[in-house]
């Protein structure tokens, strides 16, 4: 998120990035009898655990939870969060710090939490947004932590800190968080989270067709035990199962294979969505997903080439298949780091050519038994793509 306006620090105050980031999760202002928001399940995770994992991904040095009871301790098991208790509040950070206070009913995105830690702020000045999230950079964070441990709610804490610090206008776009006012807001928060999972690199059909289906599937899978890697394996298995159907020249068999390939393409989005939604990303998972996807493409190209060769009674279609496979693997090796980690594209043409929307072209051709036509185009297009990527790699250092 980028600041909506420039800060207006008091005379003599300095504007700088804090040396350390401290996140404190506090009780929100709740209705009588309302369930503790931090225990509500949002996107397959208890909200309190989601907040802590998002803060960890955002790079906070310390994550503290005020008024953490036994149930909260169970929710935070395996995380770096620690309880903030009265009498020991000063212990975690005696040094200057950027302190972010977040009510336990606010669903945050990691990028928004990181923006709170990095936004320009006047030292000793309080910034409060409408959700009662607050930011203050101070030379003496112990006093703020003690107040957070002492106050019963975010509202009481804001009121106390307003008596101590000067206040300035909130700087950031609020779109990076979703406050839960009542339990009825959970569905809206999950929809908001799921929409945030769409990657930078999306083809037209992928964004408007496949993502609608994959996000709906991911929403239902999030509450269950299935892991992102399990989804990757299932998706790859369906994709590999599609390949033998292209050995036939029959439109029925080819269309069946193309529909299975489309199913693979849709489910292939679910593993990454699950990983990002539940903070289960890993280098091993990214590699499994990426190379599993490319293995499916290689299997499909190979089977189309063999089927074409059998149909015409000649070996030359195998050359088209070999060229497609070699260029696909070469391009995959060159593009792996940028694609697997969803880095911002440096060239729109490269990004467009790497889109998976090609499956819809294959689907149409297969309905008429013309899958070999797709291979013929691929045998020309993939080497051109590889050469273009290599040219950019040499011109700009590397494609990423």
Output phi, psi for 101, to 5 deg.
Answer: -105, 125
Render pLDDT for 262-310 as a digit per residue (tens, 0 to 9): 999 999 989 999 999 999 999 899 899 989 999 999 999 999 999 999 9
Render pLDDT for 345-361 as a digit per residue (tens, 0 to 9): 444 444 544 566 788 99
Residue 37: pLDDT over 90:
no
Same domain, 262 and 370: yes
| Last residue in a domain, options 133, 159, 188 | 188
Same domain, 69 and 131: yes
Does 50 or 355 have the greater pLDDT score? 50
Same domain, 252 and 365: yes
Specify if 391 maps to a domain.
Answer: yes
Specify if 267 maps to a domain.
Answer: yes
Same domain, 241 and 390: yes
- 389 within 8 A of 334, measured Cβ to Cβ: yes
Specify if 2 maps to a domain.
Answer: no
Same domain, 279 and 344: yes
Same domain, 137 and 216: no
Taking residue 58's Cβ as centre, other Cβ atoms within 10 Å add up to 22
In this prediction, residue 208 carries a pLDDT of 74
Residue 400: pLDDT over 60:
no
Distance separating alpha carbons of residues 297 and 352, to the nearest angstrom: 17
- 242 within 8 A of 265, measured Cβ to Cβ: no
Domain housing 28? 15-188
Specify if 195 maps to a domain.
Answer: no
Q: What is the CATH number of the domain that holds 75?
A: 3.90.550.10
| Last residue in a domain, options 153, 188, 223 | 188
In this prediction, residue 90 carries a pLDDT of 43
Distance separating alpha carbons of residues 374 and 223, to the nearest angstrom: 39
Same domain, 229 and 352: yes
Distance separating alpha carbons of residues 299 and 341, to the nearest angstrom: 24
- 211 within 8 A of 269, measured Cβ to Cβ: yes
Residues shown for the chain: 400
Distance separating alpha carbons of residues 398 and 400, to the nearest angstrom: 6
Render pLDDT for 66-119 as a digit per residue (tens, 0 to 9): 877 777 778 888 888 888 877 654 444 556 789 999 999 999 999 999 999 999
Same domain, 183 and 216: no
- 167 within 8 A of 128, measured Cβ to Cβ: yes
Q: Cα(first)–Cα(last) distance of the chain, in Å?
A: 22
Among residues 105, 22, 95, the alpha carbon closest in space to that of 63 is found at: 22
Write down the mean pLDDT value for the chain: 84
| Last residue in a domain, options 164, 188, 212 | 188
Beta strands 125-128 and 166-168: pairing type? parallel
Indicate yes or no: pTM above 0.85.
no
**How many structural domains does the chain have?**
2
Return all residues near 77 (Cβ < 8 A) that are at least 6 apart: none
Same domain, 123 and 171: yes
Same domain, 259 and 169: no
Same domain, 175 and 234: no
Specify if 194 maps to a domain.
Answer: no
Render pLDDT for 157-179 as a digit per residue (tens, 0 to 9): 999 999 999 999 988 888 899 99
Among residues 218, 338, 211, the alpha carbon closest in space to that of 274 is found at: 218
Specify if 25 maps to a domain.
Answer: yes
Among residues 21, 22, 66, the alpha carbon closest in space to that of 48 is found at: 66
Q: What is the CATH number of the domain that holds 319?
A: 1.20.120.1760
Residue 134: pLDDT over 90:
yes
Go through 301-320 and write b for each residue having 16 or more CB atoms within 10 A of its CB, e for each that does not.
Answer: bbbbbbbbbeeeeeeebeeb
Taking residue 290's Cβ as centre, other Cβ atoms within 10 Å add up to 19
Specify if 293 maps to a domain.
Answer: yes
Specify if 199 maps to a domain.
Answer: no
In this prediction, residue 2 carries a pLDDT of 34
Same domain, 116 and 212: no
Residue 68's SS3 state is coil
Residue 257: pLDDT over 60:
yes
């Amino acid at each position: 998120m980028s600041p909506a306006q420039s800060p207006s620090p008091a005379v003599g105050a300095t504007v700088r990035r804090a040396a350390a980031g401290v996140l404190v999760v506090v009780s929100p202002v709740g209705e009588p009898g309302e369930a503790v928001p931090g225990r509500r399940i949002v996107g397959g995770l208890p909200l309190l655990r989601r907040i802590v994992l998002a803060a960890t991904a955002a790079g906070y040095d310390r994550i503290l939870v005020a008024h953490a009871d036994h149930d909260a301790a169970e929710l935070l098991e395996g995380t770096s969060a620690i309880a903030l208790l009265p009498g020991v509040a000063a212990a975690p950070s005696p040094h200057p710090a950027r302190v972010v206070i977040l009510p336990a009913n606010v669903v945050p995105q990691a990028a928004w939490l990181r923006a709170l830690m990095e936004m320009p702020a006047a030292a000793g000045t309080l910034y409060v947004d409408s959700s009662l999230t607050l930011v203050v950079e101070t030379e003496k964070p112990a006093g703020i932590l003690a107040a957070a441990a002492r106050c019963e709610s975010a509202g009481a804490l804001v009121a106390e800190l307003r008596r101590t610090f000067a206040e300035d206008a909130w700087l950031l776009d609020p779109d990076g968080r979703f406050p839960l006012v009542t339990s009825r807001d959970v569905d809206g928060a999950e929809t908001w989270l799921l929409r945030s999972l769409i990657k930078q690199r999306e083809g037209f059909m992928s964004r408007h067709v496949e993502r609608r289906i994959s996000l709906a599937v991911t929403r239902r899978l999030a509450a269950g035990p299935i892991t992102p890697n399990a989804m990757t394996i299932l998706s790859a298995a369906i994709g590999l199962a599609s390949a033998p159907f292209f050995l036939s020249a029959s439109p029925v068999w080819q269309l069946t294979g193309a529909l299975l390939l489309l199913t693979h393409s849709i489910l292939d989005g679910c593993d990454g969505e699950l990983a990002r939604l539940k903070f289960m990303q890993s280098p091993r998972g990214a590699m499994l997903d990426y190379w599993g996807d490319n293995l499916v493409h290689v299997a499909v190209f190979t089977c189309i080439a063999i089927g074409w060769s059998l149909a015409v009674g000649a070996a030359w279609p195998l050359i088209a298949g070999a060229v497609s496979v070699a260029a696909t693997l070469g391009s995959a090796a060159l593009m792996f780091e940028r694609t697997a980690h969803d880095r911002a594209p440096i060239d729109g043409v490269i990004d467009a050519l790497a889109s998976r929307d090609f499956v819809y072209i294959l689907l149409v051709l297969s309905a008429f038994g013309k899958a070999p036509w797709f291979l013929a185009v691929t045998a020309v297009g993939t080497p051109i793509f590889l050469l273009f990527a290599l040219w950019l790699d040499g011109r700009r250092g590397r494609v990423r």
